[in-house]
A and B are shown apart, each in its own frame.
Chain A
Amino acid sequence: MIKIPTNIMLVDDEKDFVEMLAMRLEEAGEKVVPAYDGHMCLDILEKEPVDVVILDIKMPGMDGITTLRKIKLLHPLVEVILLTGHGTTETAIEGMKLGAFDYLLKPADFKDLKDKLAGAKKKKDAQDERIRKAEARQLLRKGGNI
Chain B
Amino acid sequence: MEPEQIKKIRLLLVDDETQFRSTLAKRLKKRGFAALQAGSGQECLAILSDQPMDIVVMDVKMPGMTGIDTLHRIREKYIETEIILLTGHAATQDGVEGIKSGAFDYLTKPVELSHLLSKIIQAYEKIIAARQSREAAAYKAHIEQQMIATERLAALGTLAAGVAHEINNPLAIIYESAGYLGALLQNEELADMPHKAVFEKALRNIESGVKRARTITHQLLGNVRKSEAILAEVDVAELIKEVILLIQKEAQDKEIVVKLQTDDDLKPIWADPNHIRQVLINLLNNAIHATLEGGAITFEVKAAADDMFITVSDTGMGIPKENLEKIFEPFFSTKAPGEGTGLGLFVTKEIVEKLGGHIRVDSRVGQGARFVVQLPSGSKLKDQGV
Which residues of chain A have a CB within 8 Å of any CB of chain B?
A: 14, 16-17, 20-21, 23-24, 27-28, 84-89, 92-93, 96, 102-108, 110
The 9 closest A-B CB pairs, nearest first, are: A85-B168, A107-B172, A20-B176, A107-B175, A106-B172, A24-B180, A87-B224, A27-B183, A85-B169
Known: A89-B229, A106-B172. 12 other contacts (CB 8 A): A17-B176, A20-B176, A21-B180, A23-B180, A27-B184, A85-B165, A85-B172, A88-B221, A105-B224, A107-B168, A107-B174, A108-B172
Q: What's the nearest-Cβ distance from chain A to residue B179, in Å?
A: 5
Q: Is the CB of B173 within 8 A of A24?
A: no
Q: What's the nearest-Cβ distance from chain A to residue B157, in Å?
A: 13
A-B contact pairs, 20 of them (CB 8 A): A14-B172, A16-B177, A17-B169, A17-B172, A17-B176, A20-B176, A24-B179, A24-B180, A24-B183, A86-B165, A88-B221, A88-B222, A89-B224, A96-B228, A104-B226, A105-B224, A106-B169, A106-B171, A107-B172, A110-B179
Q: Is the CB of A105 within 8 A of B227?
A: no
Q: Does B89 contact A (CB under 8 A)?
A: no
> With a CB–CB cut-off of 8 A, which chain B residues contact A92?
224-226
> With a CB–CB cut-off of 8 A, which chain B residues contact A88?
221-222, 224
Q: Does B327 contact A (CB under 8 A)?
A: no
Question: Which residue of chain B has the shortest Cβ distance to A102 in the bound complex?
Answer: B226
A23 to B179, CA, bound (A): 10
> With a CB–CB cut-off of 8 A, which chain B residues contact A102?
226
A89 to B168, CA, bound (A): 16
Which residues of chain B have a CB within 8 Å of any CB of chain A?
A: 165-169, 171-177, 179-180, 183-184, 210, 214, 218, 221-222, 224-229
Q: What's the nearest-Cβ distance from chain A to residue B193, in Å?
A: 16
Q: What's the nearest-Cβ distance from chain B to residue A103, in Å?
A: 5
A54 to B312, CA, bound (A): 42
> With a CB–CB cut-off of 8 A, which chain A residues contact B218?
105
> With a CB–CB cut-off of 8 A, which chain A residues contact B176?
17, 20-21, 24, 107, 110
> With a CB–CB cut-off of 8 A, which chain B residues contact A16?
173, 177
A32 to B222, CA, bound (A): 32
A55 to B108, CA, bound (A): 93
Question: Which residue of chain B has the shortest Cβ distance to A82 in the bound complex?
Answer: B226
A16 to B229, CA, bound (A): 34
> With a CB–CB cut-off of 8 A, which chain A residues contact B183?
24, 27-28
Q: Is the CB of A105 within 8 A of B168?
A: yes
Q: What's the nearest-Cβ distance from chain B to residue A64, in Å?
A: 13
A143 to B176, CA, bound (A): 52
> With a CB–CB cut-off of 8 A, which chain A residues contact B227?
96
Which of B168, B177, B184, B225 touches A106 (beta carbons < 8 Å)? B168
A105 to B224, CA, bound (A): 8
Question: Which residue of chain B has the shortest Cβ distance to A92 in the bound complex?
Answer: B224
Which residue among B172, B222, B225, B228 has the maximum number of chain A CB atoms within 10 Å of its CB?
B172
Q: Is the CB of A14 within 8 A of B169?
A: yes
Q: What's the nearest-Cβ distance from chain A to residue B137, in Å?
A: 42
Q: What's the nearest-Cβ distance from chain B to residue A142, in Å?
A: 43
> With a CB–CB cut-off of 8 A, which chain A residues contact B166?
85
> With a CB–CB cut-off of 8 A, which chain A residues contact B225?
89, 92
